[in-house]
A and B are shown apart, each in its own frame.
Chain A
Amino acid sequence: QQQVKQSPQSLIVQKGGISIINCAYENTAFDYFPWYQQFPGKGPALLIAIRPDVSEKKEGRFTISFNKSAKQFSLHIMDSQPGDSATYFCAALADRGSTLGRLYFGRGTQLTVWP
């Protein structure tokens, strides 16, 4: 059973546009929500992460929006660039309990930014 559901599966955006990727979860014990970026043939790299004590976190062109009541979070990439073309994964983790340290990943979104 997929603990974190991610959409869309693929996304095509024009250069300069906004890319938006959405994730949803059910487990209310989750309290750490990272986003990873992966280029073909490489390992994923941590892009940005949020904890539920804030509703938004911004780092450069990347913003996470978090809606605790809806159990949803999303990644916004402003002014998307061709170099942003990659696969993006959302994930969630419960920072306590028997599953301490386990990240649950969404299935990924393949982003293509056209020049």
Chain B
Amino acid sequence: DGGITQSPKYLFRKEGQNVTLSCEQNLNHDAMYWYRQDPGQGLRLIYYSQIVNDFQKGDIAEGYSVSREKKESFPLTVTSAQKNPTAFYLCASSIEGSGGPRRNEQFFGPGTRLTVL
């Protein structure tokens, strides 16, 4: 089955700890994205990557870091600098660079719910 997987589904973190959320896709998509979702806020872009070894900050990148060493993987680290990390985190991917009429379609993973204790 082709798709996007995120792990873990639930994650609990103590204050002051860094945690890494996993995102893997086997769709052969060029672009990958991380969003944060809070009630009533919609989806806000944290980071995105259009190609391996390159990524750009989104609207709320402070306190987060990413890497894109492989096309299929885009892990997100929530650092202790992120003041309010409790949220639902969503990873997405799209064909993007490969062109075609479906190039802009973003497909989402099932999400990781992070709770800071």
Contacts and interface: CB of A to CB of B under 8 A. Distances in A.
Interface of A: 6, 9, 32, 34, 36, 41-46, 49, 89, 93, 95, 100-103, 105-108
B96 A101 contact: yes
A8 B113 CA distance: 26
Given A32-B104, A93-B104, A101-B94, A107 B110 contact: no
B40 to A, nearest CB: 6
Contacts of A108: 40, 42
Interface residues of B, number: 26
Given A89-B43, A107-B41, A101 B90 contact: no
Nearest to A94: B104
Nearest to A89: B42
A45 B110 CA distance: 10
Contacts of B107: 46
A100 B40 CA distance: 26
Contacts, number: 57
A115 B104 CA distance: 36
A103 B40 CA distance: 18
Interface in B27-73: 31, 33, 40-45, 48, 50, 58
Contact of A105 (B4, B42, B96, B104): B42
Given A32-B104, A34-B105, A101-B96, A44 B42 contact: no
Given A34-B105, A46-B107, 13 more contacts: A9-B40, A42-B110, A43-B90, A43-B92, A43-B111, A44-B108, A49-B105, A101-B31, A101-B48, A101-B50, A103-B33, A105-B42, A105-B44
